[in-house]
Amino acid sequence: MYGELLLKWLNSPVVDAATKKELKEIQSDAKEVESRFLAPLTFGTGGLRGVLGAGINRMNRYTVRHATQGLANLILKQGDAVCDRGVVVGYDCRNGSAEFAREVCRVLVANGIRAYRFDELRPTPEVSFAIRELGCIAGVNITASHNPKEYNGYKAYWEDGAQLDLEQAEVVYNAIQSTDIFEDVKVASEAEAAAQTVLLGRDFDEKFLEQVMTQQINREVVSQQADMAIVYTPFHGTGYRLVPEVLKRAGFRNVTCVPEQMVLDGNFPTVASPNPENKEGFTLAMRLADQVAADFIIGTDPDADRLGVVVRNETGEFVALTGNQTGVILLDYVLRARQEQGTLPANACAIKTIVTSEMAARVCEKYGVTLMNVLTGFKFIGEKIKEFEQTGEYSYVFGYEESYGYLTGTYARDKDGVAASLLIAEVAAWYRSKSMTLWQALQALYAEYGWHREVTVNIAMPGLDGMKKTAALMASLRKNVPQVVAGQKVMQFFDLEQGAMGLPRSNVVYYALEDRSVVVVRPSGTEPKVKVYFMVSGTSGTEADRKAAALKEDFFRLANI
């Protein structure tokens, strides 16, 4: 079967010579052939993501075209009138990204759909913003976010600027499954697509930056702390222009960028992985921070939607904040500052994902702000923003997820590392005006709201039987629900696959314990692994660490993991 698919590619007049050469080189390797042709890349609400290479289970121009034809089918179902509204296409610094963006436009044009494409790489949030600004029906961004260099991906958005919902993604996925990757895909010539594609230049950045700058809350405190030393790294990616620019416009005069990582490069030569979650990636930044006596370091991932922050602790050692820690610092500051300025709406609402720290609930309780939980994925935060605009029941003030994504405004419907960089710098300036560092600020928040700890464990499910192992594990967890874990009663068990917590159906199980600890288990949507989240709190950091370790150990014992 897999050999037949390989021969189909080798014999197709559509496939280019370089791709055929790559396939001929692996033709005698049965396992490699199976890996590449086992099944098409799964198209979900997060779009596509996979290793670069030839085959239906890889990211290449043909799988990108196939996905785009599926998206075009979804658009065409809305009627001819929406085609002229168009689709915005963006891309990041990764290998193949610019080429894939052009291929998207070729398919759109061939289907009679107007195409807008950025003339060079741009941050993901700017693509989300552009959809709304231009009144487009959809958008595509070619990026694999913070994945290693071997990967690329395809994020698809709808007219509200948020990623496709479950039903829309299913339409695209079914189209991929039921159509031929070559014969059923319409592709315009490069010349025709270039002639009919509207290019978006740097003048469009001004529209985006104007909205980002409105997220600044306290310009005066920035002016007072304008000399605060900041180091920034874009990890070779799309934040390289706009993040330094917004910091400059905000009033920060002492920003130093890591020169080696300001170079756009999809091979990410200075880091093992361009992930701002990993402290190791900040090695050059930390060295530079010592040289310029910087107070803290900001890093954005290749498509600049995620923000990582490195600070100095009480001994001067660099510590990488988790997404939960950065998020709660930002949340507390936004609510505090807006309350002090009298701009916090009476119906204010903050949003977090179900796997994000419960510390957010304590913060919102203090300020009298409603907190909502949504499924993992920033698109669900975007959906709530849209709902609030339609109903007027709540006013959105802040949303975040533990995976380093934050959004204050409603100009975009995806996480924004550009605006988050601006905001965390302002927060640092405010605390500096109180003679406090960001590390000291975090300790003060723990002292006020309780010492919270979050531990995430990734259980790898590699290989061809990984999906079966994942399904077996989730079925076992649903069948064998413990009454007590680590000495705490399980007060509530939610199986989101059956519908629970007022959330859409999802392959997630959620345990709420009597001491307000939480355990969540879900398969990853983009990688072959199952993620287990433990969230606890205590009266001290030591107690919280102990509780987290005990909860993890006993849960794994009970679940036979």
The chain-wide mean pLDDT, for the chain, equals 96
Q: Above 70 in pLDDT, residue 348?
A: yes
Q: Above 80 in pLDDT, residue 470?
A: yes
Q: How far apart are CA 296 and CA 326, in angstroms?
A: 12
- In the prediction, which pLDDT does 5 show? 93
The β-bridge relationship of strands 48-51 and 151-158 is: antiparallel
426, 221 contact by CB (below 8 A): yes
The mean pLDDT of 388-407, rounded to a whole number, is 97
The mean pLDDT of 339-360, rounded to a whole number, is 97
324, 335 contact by CB (below 8 A): no
138, 161 contact by CB (below 8 A): no
Distance of CA 221 to the CA centre of its chain: 30
364, 374 contact by CB (below 8 A): no
Q: Above 90 in pLDDT, residue 44?
A: no
- 273 belongs to the catalytic site: no
Q: Above 90 in pLDDT, residue 464?
A: no
The β-bridge relationship of strands 529-538 and 518-523 is: antiparallel
The mean pLDDT of 525-546, rounded to a whole number, is 92
Sign of CA dihedral 372, 376, 379, 380: negative
Min mean pLDDT across 149-153, 317-321, 448-452, 557-561 is at 557-561
Closest CA to 547 of 516, 510, 508, 509: 516
The 318-320 sheet, strands edge to edge = 255-257, 230-233, 296-300, 307-312, 318-320
274 three-state secondary structure:
coil
411 three-state secondary structure:
coil
Sign of CA dihedral 426, 430, 436, 441: negative
- In the prediction, which pLDDT does 524 show? 84
49 three-state secondary structure:
strand
- In the prediction, which pLDDT does 230 show? 98
- In the prediction, which pLDDT does 387 show? 96
Radius of gyration of the chain (CA): 24
Q: Above 70 in pLDDT, residue 526?
A: no
Digit-coded pLDDT (tens) for 363-391: 999 999 999 999 999 999 999 999 999 99
Q: Give one word for 12, left, alpha or beta, with left for phi > 0 and alpha for psi -120 to 50.
A: beta
Q: Does this chain's domain 206-449 share its CATH topology with 451-559?
A: no
Annotated catalytic residue: which of 35, 145, 357, 517?
145
Confidence of residue 326 (pLDDT cuts 50, 70, 90): very high
167 three-state secondary structure:
helix
Digit-coded pLDDT (tens) for 135-161: 999 999 999 999 999 999 999 999 999
The mean pLDDT of 35-55, rounded to a whole number, is 92
Q: What is the DSSP letter of 164?
A: P
Q: Above 90 in pLDDT, residue 528?
A: no
Q: How far apart are CA 54 and CA 122, in angstroms?
A: 26
Sign of CA dihedral 83, 133, 307, 390: negative
- In the prediction, which pLDDT does 486 show? 96
Q: Above 90 in pLDDT, residue 60?
A: yes
Find the farthest-apart pair of alpha carbons in the chain and give their distance in angstroms, rounded.
69
CA angle 506, 174, 19 (to 5 degrees): 115
* Fold observed for domain 39-200: Alpha-D-Glucose-1,6-Bisphosphate; Chain A, domain 3 (3.40.120)
Tell me which CATH code domain 451-559 carries: 3.30.310.50
Global pTM value: 0.95
Collect contacts of 491-497 with beta carbons under 8 A, ≥24 apart.
496/375
The β-bridge relationship of strands 318-320 and 307-312 is: antiparallel
- In the prediction, which pLDDT does 254 show? 98
The mean pLDDT of 322-348, rounded to a whole number, is 98
Q: What is the DSSP letter of 253?
A: -
Digit-coded pLDDT (tens) for 410-450: 999 999 999 999 999 999 999 999 999 999 999 999 999 99
99, 18 contact by CB (below 8 A): no
Query: Could you confirm whether domain 206-449 is CATH 3.40.120.10?
Result: yes
Q: Above 80 in pLDDT, residue 175?
A: yes
Min mean pLDDT across 49-58, 249-258, 499-508 is at 499-508
Q: Above 90 in pLDDT, residue 467?
A: no
Confidence of residue 495 (pLDDT cuts 50, 70, 90): very high
Q: How far apart are CA 439 and CA 445, in angstroms?
A: 10
Digit-coded pLDDT (tens) for 110-141: 999 999 999 999 999 999 999 999 999 999 99
Q: Where are the domains of the chain?
A: 39-200, 206-449, 451-559
